[in-house]
Structures are given as C-alpha cells and as structure tokens.
Structure 1
Amino acid sequence: MPTTVAAFWDLVEESAQWRPAAVMLSDDHGRSLTTVAFRTEAERVAAGLHARGVTTGDVVSWQLPTTLEAAVLMAACARLGAVQNPIIPNFRAREVTFIVDQVRSRLVVIPEAWNGFDHGDMARTLGRDVLPVALDGPPGAAIRLPGDITDPLPAPSGPSTACRWIYYSSGTTAEPKGARHTDRSALAASNGVVDQLGLRADDVYPIAWPIAHIGGVAMLGAALRTGARLVLFDTFDPPTTPDRMAAHRPTILGSATPFFQAYVAAQRRHGDRPLFPELRACVGGGAPTPEAINQQVADVLGVPGVAGSWGLTEFPVATSETPADDGVGCSVGRPAHGVEVRVVGGELRLNGPQKFLGYVDASLDAEAFDDDGWVRTGDLGVVDGDGRVRISGRRKDVILRNAENISASEVEEVVLRCPGVADAAVIGVPDARTGERVRAVVVTVPGIDVSLADVVEHCRRAGLARYKWPEDFRLADAIPRNAMGKVVKRELTADGGR
C-alpha cells in the first residue's frame, strides 16, 4: 500500500505502479478509470493546462461537480505544482467573484452549464482566463477536459511546504474564508479514513457530496493509498440516487443527515431484502448525526450506526470513529494519527499534520490560532476517559438566555425525536426580557400537525431542563442545508418559517 502523503502527485505515481489494473474511480454513467488510466489522463490534462500557460505556483480555481473530470483535474494541477482552489458548485457570482479576486486566479475551470445554471456566463464576467467544460448531458467514454500531448511536461515539483490548495469554508454562520493547505496537510486528512475507518482494497464508496469540499482530497488520497473504489455521482436525488448507488454494491455509505434519510427511505421501499447487501459501514462527517437518524440507520440498514468523524476546513478529519467501536455514533471518535486535542475553556483545539497554513486573508490568523499555534476550532466538547472526542455544540451556536448557555445542537437532538417532526433546527432569537429565546424551526412529517405545545411537552418528557425548552416555533417546508448536510443557520432569519 502506498504510504507517501507528502506530495499528491507522488501518490498518483505510486498507486499506478502498485496496482496498475485496479479500478479506482467510476461514475453514475458507466465510466471508470484504473490507477494507470487516471495517471495518464492527469498528465494529458496537465499538458493542456501547461500549454495554456499554467505553471508551478499559479492559482487554478475550479468549480466542477463530483465527476471523473474533477478528480482528473485535481491530479493534473498537482502534476504541475499549481495552487488549486476548488469551489463548491452551488456558489454563485457573489461568492465566486470574491474568491477568484482574493486568490488572484490564473485560470478558472467551470462547466459551461450544469444542473440548470449557466456557469459559463457567470465566469466570463470575472475578468479571468476561463476554461469552460461541456458537462451538461450524459457523457461519452472520454474525459471531458482538453489536453495536449505535443509539448513535454516539466519535471514534477515533488514534496513542498508551499501552499498547494486553497479551500473556502461553506459559510454556514458567516462569510466564507480561504484556508491554505500544503499537499501534506490536505492529504493527512486521509489518515483517519485509512487508519480508523479502515478503508481497504475491496471497499466501494459512492459519493454524491461535492468533491470540491476538502473531504474530496481526503477520500481521493485514501483511495489512492488503499486501492478502494470511489463511485462519483454529480447530483443527489433522494428518491432515485440510493437505488443507483445500490447497483454498484457499496460497502460504505455516507455522509450526512439528508443522505442517511434517503438511504433509510430507499431500504423501506425495497422491503425486507437488503438493498445494500455488501454494506459494512455508514460514515458521517461535516455535521453530527442526530441520535434519531443514527438509530434509524442501525435498525433499517443493519450496520451498528453512523461512524462519526470531526474536522473543519482548516483541519480536516481530525478524529474518526471505527465501525467496530462500542456505541457507534455516540462520539466523533479518537484523534487521527499525529493529531493532538485539548480543551480550553470548553473549546476544542487542535494540533497535528492536517493543520492549515493560515487564511488567504492573513488578518484572520490571529483569531484562528492560539499563542501555542493550536487551531481554535470554535467547537465545544470534551475528551472522555477513553480518548474519544464528544462535541456539544459550536461556540457561535450557543443561545444565551438569562445568562445561561444553551447548546442549540442539544435542543435539536431532542426536538428531532418529537413525534411528527421530520427535520428541525434550533436558533436563538432576540428577546427584550431574556436576551435571547430558543426558537425551534420544524419540518413536519406529511399529514401530521405539530405545535409548539407538542414540542414543549416532548422536551419535558425527554427530561430536558426547562430553561432550554423552545419558547418560539416556526414551521418550514425545508431546513436550509449546504451540500455537506450542515444547517445554514444564517438563512434561518428571525422571521423565517411560515
């Protein structure tokens, strides 16, 4: 198994030499790439980028969905030593303009059109060199990226301590910030996937979340290291995608609440015969899996629960559970190799190989690191006697009512178990008397009425302290979530709901 994680391109080369015929990537359209084909396609595309003028240190911003093209482009940029800036596909002109201006992109790679949106028109207003890719519609067999095989490529740049990746947070509670990573720090995120999740050569993992998320390089690195196969889905349609995933006989499913709800619903539609007969683990990341969803996964899909992991754009996959842990889903696991966790004033802080270099806007660094260089995560939690990390909430997601701190995530866990509640989020809203009050925003199960009184009575029966009970209630058609399943609380305005 290749173990080198200092340079992404070295890992591509090692994997191609180690298992040249192994299929490492396939997609929802019947295409696939072996490790050798992946390397070959990456070199072809790297030559095309080089002919276009891209060289070591240039910033290539790309906004591609979860496709073979995106994975090949990642390797092509690494082959050239370019600084790549993956952008989540659902970002629009406001965010994309801000990002490419801040990172000073040399080239912007986008779909001409995808999923009903004209990325090409948007990108041509950016004042940058734009490379549009035709991704709309079913693909043929070829990788839909231009290449050039006439001019020789420069030698690979090899391991470097320089920035090679710039990832922008998805901005669930604030504006996105650009985190700068080296190859080593980005690829160190694969340690938890390999060592704790135990990814192996016979694993098949369909992913429909954005490969442009920092989890994308973690999973791609883990697949290169182990020989596992990733199946890429460019969209996720809850009624149909789980069945299409089932055709690939997955051994692992992820990654957040909306996905698990869809898998459970698909199995229930399928009846008693397992829809995913080879499934050995469900894995969660990006946001804690509510206890109610974790129990449904265990009961319906037949795995112990959702093996949680924890990290952030600035420090990806810091901890992970293993599928064999006792009480899977009750924590986010133990620290990955080389990671240190400490608690300061209730806040979890991190140090280790995944640590980012700092932000593109260096003025933000003072708040990001403490005096010892540890990353301030903003997450509240504890490390228990077995070394497992347990998250209790976000520092910025604490409701201050009558000088008492209330964890919104704790209340959400209880509200989600209320009969008739399909989804929920809890926020704090201003209150002249108490400072803030607790608001529950609720999506109901079709055909079932739920009121504030129902939620309060459920909280009472669940043993939740009275001062934490919701005092405010809104019904919503859906809880706004980003592509990784995190609730976007800034969209839950004071007058949100219906």
Structure 2
Amino acid sequence: MSEPIYDARSFWDLLCRRVAATPDTRMLIDDSGRSLTFAEFRDQSERVAAGLQDLGVGEGTPVTWILPTRIETVLLSFALSRLGAVQNPIIHIYRRREVEFCIRQTEAELVVHPGAWSGFDYGGMVDEIVAGLDYEVRTLAGYDTLPEGDPATLPPVSDLTGAEAVRWLYYTSGTTSDPKGVKHTDGSLIAGGIGLARALDMSEDDVGSIAFPYAHIGGPDYMVTMLAAGFGAILVERFDPAAAVLAYALHGVTMAGGSTAFYQMFLEEDRKARESTGRPAMPALRVLSGGGAPKPPEIYFRVKEQMGVPVAHGYGMTECPMISQGSPGDSDNQLAYTDGRPVHGCEVSIVAVAPDGGEAPAPAGVQGEVRVRGPMLFSGYTDPTLDKGAFDARGRFRTGDLGVLGTDGHLTLTGRVKDIIIRKGENISAKEIEDVLYAHHKVGSVAVIGLTDRKRGERVCAVIETAPHSDDLTFEEMVETCLAAGLARQKVPEQLEI
C-alpha cells in the first residue's frame, strides 16, 4: 500500500504523483458503468488540455464552467489545471442573473456548459449572456464531448503552476446583493483537502462517492482527499436515493454522504432495505460524512443505531473549505454534538465581542465568533472593497458563525452572529432551539427565526415542516418538547408556523 501524498504543490502535481504510485487503481466510476483508472484519467486530461489549448486556452485564461457531476466535468477541470487556466466553476442551480454576473466579473474568455440538461437550456442561457457582452467569448457544449489534441504540443509543466497564483474563482451568496467572488489557489484548496483526508483516515481500500455538485468547492476538496489517499469514487449525476444506494452497494462504497439531507435519505433507503431483505442497503459502508448544513444530534444517533456506522460531519465555507471535521475514531458524543476538531493546519479562534466593540479570546466552553487562519484560507474577494471587513487585525477571517471550543479541542457551532434572536435584551440561539425541536418525531425540518415585536424587541417563531406520514405538531406539543429538553422558558417559541 502506498503512502498518502500530503505535500503536493498543485493539482497536476498531485495527480501525477498518484499515477506514479497506483496507476491502475480505478479513480472514477459513473452511474452508467464507465470508469477510468488514475493513469487513464491523467492521459485523457492531457488530451483535453491540448484540445483546449487549440481553442486559445493557456496559463491565466479565465474559463467559466457550469456542468453537472460527470467524468467529463472532472476531466475538464484537470485539463484546465494542466494549462494553468483560471477556473470559475458555477453550480448548475444558478440562472442568468448570477451566471452573467460571474462571467462579466471574471471576464471569462471561454464558457463551458452542458447544453440542455435536466429540463433547462443552459446553452441558450449562455448564448444570450454572451451576445450582450462587449467582448468576444467562446462557448463550448461540454456535457459528453470535450475537445482533444496532441499532448506533445503542451508546454512543460511548472512545479509551481497554480500553487501560489489565483487559479480558482468561486462565487457565494452573502450579505451583499451580488454574489461574492472568492479567490483560491491550488495551494489553498489542496490544504483544505489534505485536512479532510487526515481527519477521515481514508485508504486505497476505500470507495468514495460524489453525489453533490462537483462545481461546489467541496468538489476539488474531495478530489484532493481521493488523490492523497489513493481511493476512487462513484460520480452521481442526478441524485435519486434508491438508484444511488443500489450503485453504492454494487461498487462497495465505504463512505457516502454529502449533507444532512443525504443522511436522512440514506436512512430511509436503509430502512426499506432492512424491511424487505433483512440486510443493510449498503453493506460495505463504514462511515457517512458531509457538511454544508447543521447536523442535529438526533440524526447522528438514528444513523448509528439503525445503520451501525458513525456520521463524521464537517464544517467549512467557500472562503475556507475545511475548518473542522469529525473523525470516525471520535466518541459518539463528539460526533453527535460537535462539528469536529480543527483540521490539520487550520487555526480556529473563538472571539468574544463586547457591546462596546471590544474583543477578547473566549475561554473554552464560552461562545463567541469563529475566526480562522491557515493555508486553506482564500486569498481575498474579487471585489477588494469586501476584504476590509472580512479580516480582523490579526489576519483572521471573520466567519460570521458563533461557536464554542471545548476542552477536548472540538468545535461546536451554535448559530450565526446575525441569527441571534434578542428577546427582552436576552440573546437566544436559534440553533439551540432547532436541535431540540428536530428530535421530535413529527418534525421533518425546522427553522427558528426572530420576528419584530413591539413589546419584546423580537419574539421567537418556529417554522416547521411536518415529517412524512405524520400529523402536524401542535403548539402545546412544541412547548412541552422544549421544556422537557431543559430549555429556559424565555427560549420557548411564542409562535408556531407549519
């Protein structure tokens, strides 16, 4: 078994070193049965890079791509890395307003799209956007066919290609009306992926899965983990729980996940399988892992009891793709009630902010704003005016999240700085109440919000989606649930919306 690769300088360097170590290991498998080994993937990526070079793409060329999770998408991304182009991946849920903003701000010279896909004409949307620009932009339909050329025509690879230079531009929603462009290097994305790889302790014997959009920053994050540890993964283009679980069982997937919603869907498919066959839906599974949304403790315990595997949940954001991550070896309480330890190389600080604006480090167990620093942190925003308020005097990024660091070093998120409900002068964490209500069997999902109230300043309102095949939760049941869980009376929601 080869040693993990933790010191690569660029994506292309990491791929080539993985090929040298385990060339014949399957790297990618799609849900139609196609597959590529690490060596086959490297070779095909070079042919695509040569084809892109023939279209005028080279080092520093800005390229926007909006594609689903397919082998071609990953090939395109690595071909662009081979050339040193600047990639702007866009998740396929976005439409004209966001896509046009990204193309204009990045000054993309090539836009790659899937054509008509999943009931929407991406090609038509891109053509309309490009027609309104005041400079020439090439477009390319790259769903199932990519340009290819002779790899012998490619320039030599620099050891530092993309390691320090900005090579990735991701856009995220935030407090501004327009999407915020986030600048990353190969080095920053690799640092995040290595943090994930170390935490999950994956090996060449594992089989992973990518059921989320590869255009999400979690795409390259997970790919680094695969290349560092040497395992392959199944790509799921359109996620259908039943079909995905069958494919995972067929190929022996050992790690699945994506987000809390995925955990819930896997629980349901596993329940069906056990009822009909007496066996688990995914026999080789050893861990669920994901992030991107809060994980109620109840979900962890349901998965552990029914499926017999832990949920190793993580915390990150576009600006810092990996901040903390649960590990399979953590205790049940750590995995259920925290968001894991800070990943390798990430410095996490909890800062208490006083009413007068003064700041001080928060001791263990005390809530404050989560601030981060480390090699996985982004290089700044494409709009430099946004940088000033994003970092503190020590260069730490202000995440806007509230959290607590325990004496064991694990981080627990408690809410958002702007999501605190202030009722009669008392700060109330919406997440604390959400976790309590989510444990009720009638609750499918829940959001707790603050509504303007003349007497209280804000009143607490619970918005609940009823669980499938269940009656609606009554107001009295909600109050009883909160009090039984030990919530202070002032935290109990005064309004319930179903």
Q: Same fold (TM over 0.5)?
A: yes
CA distance in 2, matches of 1:430, 1:132: 49
Matched residues, number: 467
Match of 1:251 in 2: 254
The 5 Å alignment of 1:312-351 reads: 312-327=317-332, 328-345=335-352, 346-351=368-373
Match of 2:492 in 1: 469
Q: Given that residues 109 and 133 in structure 1 are in contact (C-alpha distance below 8 angstroms), is that contact kept between their aligned partners in structure 2?
A: yes
CA distance in 1, matches of 2:431, 2:116: 37
Match of 2:60 in 1: 57
**Structure 1 306/113 Cα, relative in aligned 2: closer, same or farther at 3 Å?**
same
**Structure 1 175/420 Cα, relative in aligned 2: closer, same or farther at 3 Å?**
farther
Deviation digits for residues 35-84 of structure 1 (CA, Å, limit 9, x no counterpart): 11111111111111111111111111111111111111110110010010
Amino acid at match of 1:168: Y
The 5 Å alignment of 1:136-215 reads: 144-149=145-150, 152-159=153-160, 160-171=163-174, 175-215=178-218
Match of 1:300 in 2: 306
CA distance in 1, matches of 2:281, 2:349: 41
Q: Given that residues 87 and 167 in structure 1 are in contact (C-alpha distance below 8 angstroms), is that contact kept between their aligned partners in structure 2?
A: yes
Match of 1:275 in 2: 281
Match of 2:233 in 1: 230
CA distance in 2, matches of 1:232, 1:172: 33
CA distance in 1, matches of 2:206, 2:139: 34
Q: Given that residues 47 and 151 in structure 2 are in contact (C-alpha distance below 8 angstroms), is that contact kept between their aligned partners in structure 1?
A: no
Deviation digits for residues 411-455 of structure 1 (CA, Å, limit 9, x no counterpart): 111111123111112222222222222221111122412222321
Q: Given that residues 81 and 157 in structure 1 are in contact (C-alpha distance below 8 angstroms), is that contact kept between their aligned partners in structure 2?
A: no
Moved more, 105-114 or 432-441: 432-441
Deviation digits for residues 81-116 of structure 1 (CA, Å, limit 9, x no counterpart): 001011111011111111111111111111101111
Gaps of 5+ in 1: 136-142, 476-498
Q: Given that residues 49 and 151 in structure 2 are in contact (C-alpha distance below 8 angstroms), is that contact kept between their aligned partners in structure 1?
A: no
Deviation digits for residues 255-298 of structure 1 (CA, Å, limit 9, x no counterpart): 21211111110111011312211111111211221111111111
1:430 and 2:438 are equivalent in the alignment: no
Match of 1:35 in 2: 38
Q: CA deviation at 1:407?
A: 1.3
Q: Given that residues 50 and 149 in structure 2 are in contact (C-alpha distance below 8 angstroms), is that contact kept between their aligned partners in structure 1?
A: yes
Gaps of 5+ in 2: 131-135, 353-367
Q: Given that residues 62 and 108 in structure 1 are in contact (C-alpha distance below 8 angstroms), is that contact kept between their aligned partners in structure 2?
A: yes
CA distance in 2, matches of 1:428, 1:100: 36
Amino acid at match of 2:321: P
Amino acid at match of 2:319: E
Deviation digits for residues 199-239 of structure 1 (CA, Å, limit 9, x no counterpart): 11111112211111111111111111111111110111234
1:129 and 2:134 are equivalent in the alignment: no
Q: Given that residues 197 and 323 in structure 1 are in contact (C-alpha distance below 8 angstroms), is that contact kept between their aligned partners in structure 2?
A: yes
**Structure 1 84/357 Cα, relative in aligned 2: closer, same or farther at 3 Å?**
same
Match of 1:439 in 2: 461
1:5 and 2:8 are equivalent in the alignment: yes
Deviation digits for residues 336-368 of structure 1 (CA, Å, limit 9, x no counterpart): 222211111111111111011000111100111
1:104 and 2:107 are equivalent in the alignment: yes
Q: How much is the aligned-residue C-alpha RMSD, in angstroms?
A: 1.8
**Structure 1 430/205 Cα, relative in aligned 2: closer, same or farther at 3 Å?**
same
CA distance in 2, matches of 1:173, 1:362: 13
Q: CA deviation at 1:171?
A: 4.9
Q: CA deviation at 1:151?
A: 6.9
Q: Given that residues 68 and 237 in structure 2 are in contact (C-alpha distance below 8 angstroms), is that contact kept between their aligned partners in structure 1?
A: yes
CA distance in 1, matches of 2:146, 2:448: 44
Deviation digits for residues 181-207 of structure 1 (CA, Å, limit 9, x no counterpart): 111001111122221110111111122
Q: CA deviation at 1:331?
A: 1.3
Q: Given that residues 430 and 448 in structure 2 are in contact (C-alpha distance below 8 angstroms), is that contact kept between their aligned partners in structure 1?
A: yes
Q: Given that residues 453 and 459 in structure 2 are in contact (C-alpha distance below 8 angstroms), is that contact kept between their aligned partners in structure 1?
A: yes
Q: CA deviation at 1:473?
A: 2.0
Moved more, 99-108 or 169-178: 169-178
CA distance in 1, matches of 2:178, 2:315: 21
- TM-score w.r.t. length of structure 1: 0.90
Amino acid at match of 2:62: V
1:286 and 2:292 are equivalent in the alignment: yes
Amino acid at match of 2:279: R
Q: Given that residues 4 and 10 in structure 1 are in contact (C-alpha distance below 8 angstroms), is that contact kept between their aligned partners in structure 2?
A: no
Q: CA deviation at 1:170?
A: 4.8
Amino acid at match of 1:444: T
User: Greater share of helix residues, 1 or 2?
Assistant: 2
CA distance in 1, matches of 2:496, 2:175: 21
SS class of match (1:367): helix
Match of 2:414 in 1: 392
CA distance in 2, matches of 1:438, 1:175: 30
Deviation digits for residues 274-327 of structure 1 (CA, Å, limit 9, x no counterpart): 221111111121122111111111111101x31121111111112212101112
> Aligned to 2:403, which of 381, 384, 390?
381
Moved more, 443-452 or 336-345: 443-452
SS class of match (2:460): strand
- TM-score w.r.t. length of structure 2: 0.90
Q: Given that residues 51 and 151 in structure 1 are in contact (C-alpha distance below 8 angstroms), is that contact kept between their aligned partners in structure 2?
A: no
Q: Given that residues 2 and 18 in structure 1 are in contact (C-alpha distance below 8 angstroms), is that contact kept between their aligned partners in structure 2?
A: no
CA distance in 1, matches of 2:210, 2:63: 24
Deviation digits for residues 378-428 of structure 1 (CA, Å, limit 9, x no counterpart): 111121111111111111221222222111111111111123111112222
